[in-house]
Amino acid sequence: MDLKGKRVIALGERDGIQGDAIGKIAQAAGAEVVLQVTHCFV
C-alpha cells in the first residue's frame, strides 16, 4: 500500500496491536504519523 503524502493517526490497544507498531508500518508505507497512542479500551 502506498501512503506517500498521507497523514496517519495510529490508534492502538494495549492487548492488541500497539500504536507504535501501527505507526512504524504506516511510516514504512510512506505516511507521516501525526499522532500515535496506545490505550486500554476496556
Domain ranges for the chain = 7-39
Q: Can you give the pTM of this predicted structure?
A: 0.83
The grid cell for 33 is 504519523
pLDDT of residue 12: 95
pLDDT of residue 39: 93
- For the stretch 1-42, pLDDT in tens is 789 999 999 999 999 999 999 999 999 999 999 999 999 877
Q: Is residue 22 packed enough to be buried (19+ CB in 10 Å), middle (13-18) or exposed (0-12)?
A: buried
Cite the DSSP H helix spans in 1-42.
Answer: 19-28
